[in-house]
Chain A
């Protein structure tokens, strides 16, 4: 397995507004020491609740926001410190699919112009005729009628707009798609259409995905390996089957128990998990999860746990291990 993308020690701190005049500006720790790899042809899922840092991680990888610390290697080349002109050819291979297909498509562009735009930016294909031909082929690939190329984004439903967003990402022959909550704005029946499409395209083009979602069932369905984030850190990382059969981190277990199943339970009202996610401006000392953790020990409030490999490919950052 060769790594297509490798992130090491990715960190993003934001300085936020002073609470009072003359007070020091607090630091918001959005992403803290995040490391992972995505192999060629693999789907790597990032799951977590709001504020866990999963979207910031995606943006760091694509250099949409500058990292405070850490490295990203794409096909063996360090990308965070490349000058923009050297980064551009690599960036062509790494495309993003956004959550809100309505907000990420320019409403004053026709669909054909939206899909052609990345090709113009990256200068491939070079001629307008070739590009137009490719637009038609791309529309067909994502399940839209090529004759709709002259329509405007508002003429499409949410699911169809997400198909347009995917066509845009594929327009320049991307190898890695970073999909940030690509189906969370869609209804269940349409969501399934888009998930199936993404899987088909992955097989057809040998794509790799960094797939981000808050919905555990969706992430499980899509991913080969999964990382669970909490308050800016990866707390557990494992192959898909392993993390669902043997969740190791108490937070992963809490999440899995909290997801409502579309099955009537024999007994109602299992205890709801306690507490809320703390502020990333003032995270609890030690393990950030310890105030909500049913298995906390004395050490948990003093030392942050380091990720350990507890089974082949299965990492957990928890003092239990």
Chain B
């Protein structure tokens, strides 16, 4: 018998009312993450990947209309009371954001901010918190951790701020780390350092990671499994090696073909024509049909289900590759 997943999303829907009508940012998303696994949620802007992560953390604005289940360690996060969710957030469930600079409080030293998280979650008293924060700074590879404790965010580089954010996220030894575009604002050499750090934490502590990104390269080098999102839905899921070797959904194929390849001489890029549909006026059929080279009349009329293609693989397509 398989162990129950650490996190299970069932039929997650998030919609925002707007003047143009209901914007369906997330439109029926299901996925599981096992303990210690890195699942990449891959997609372009507006596909719903960040809204999914905010829903997980219970950080959506009050105007959002949410449906579905978010079962974490056997408990539905949407059903538990706000105090219990707060206790979980930053503890068993932690998050790292894209903009490390703006996620930190500019008027507090970075050490204080990490120590405060430890005290708030009852992991240490004030004095022990300082020592523990310095220890964590060492663990995330900040040079001279004792001196960094008293630094303000503006005195640190983007990469160092992201290390501080990761120290804060792992302060309470989370079971799941949600990393939303953790390296998008960073230079490529620093990106590699931060991703190596996350991988190292996963290996040593067994932390599961939900890695949210638009970067196919980051996915290929860091994920175990991938869920590709388009217009609020998962269109393909697969183990990472199989996704890159033989994508089944035409959108995944299109993404791979539109990237310039550093190791090949490529004359023409195969761009995906057109653009993403308006989430307030989604077509009745497949949301990708208007841009898809394989689209048929059926695709325009009827939305395909996410159907199993092979063990551990699924694609939402009437004509998979």
Contacts and interface: CB of A to CB of B under 8 A. Distances in A.
Given A217-B261, A272-B193, A273-B193, A50 B221 contact: no
Interface string A208-243: 000000101110110000000000000000000100
Contact of B259 (A188, A214, A258): A188
Interface string A180-221: 000000011111110110000000000000000010111011
B271 A49 contact: no
A188 B193 contact: no
A312 interface: no
A260 B218 contact: yes
A268 interface: yes
A217 B241 CA distance: 21
B221 A265 contact: yes
Contacts of B255: 188-189
Given A196-B271, A214-B187, A187 B214 contact: yes
Nearest to A266: B241
B280 to A, nearest CB: 15
B199 A269 contact: yes
A317 to B, nearest CB: 19
Given A187-B45, A187-B214, A256 B262 contact: yes
A54 to B, nearest CB: 12
Nearest to B270: A192
Interface residues of B, number: 46
Interface residues of A, number: 40
Contacts of A193: 271-273
Given A50-B187, A220-B260, A261-B262, A188 B216 contact: yes
A10 to B, nearest CB: 23
A102 interface: no
Contacts of A263: 220, 244, 263
Contact of A189 (B218, B220, B221, B272): B272
Interface string B139-172: 0000000000000000001011000000000000
Contacts of B219: 262
B215 interface: yes
A276 B266 contact: no
Interface in A234-280: 241, 244, 254-256, 258-265, 268-269, 271-273, 276-277
Nearest to A273: B189
A159 B275 contact: yes
Nearest to A275: B189
B188 interface: yes
Contacts of B266: 221
Nearest to A49: B187
A221 B218 contact: no
B240 A264 contact: yes
B257 to A, nearest CB: 8
A189 B190 contact: no
Contacts of A160: 275
Nearest to B188: A258
B268 interface: yes
B216 to A, nearest CB: 4
A181 B266 CA distance: 20
Given A192-B272, A196-B268, A260-B221, A276 B258 contact: no
Interface of A: 49-50, 157, 159-160, 187-193, 195-196, 214, 216-218, 220-221, 241, 244, 254-256, 258-265, 268-269, 271-273, 276-277
Interface of B: 44-45, 157, 159-160, 187-193, 195-196, 199, 214-222, 240-241, 244-245, 254-256, 258-263, 265-266, 268-273, 275
13 contacts: A190-B272, A192-B258, A192-B272, A217-B260, A258-B189, A258-B192, A259-B262, A260-B215, A262-B216, A264-B244, A265-B221, A276-B157, A276-B159
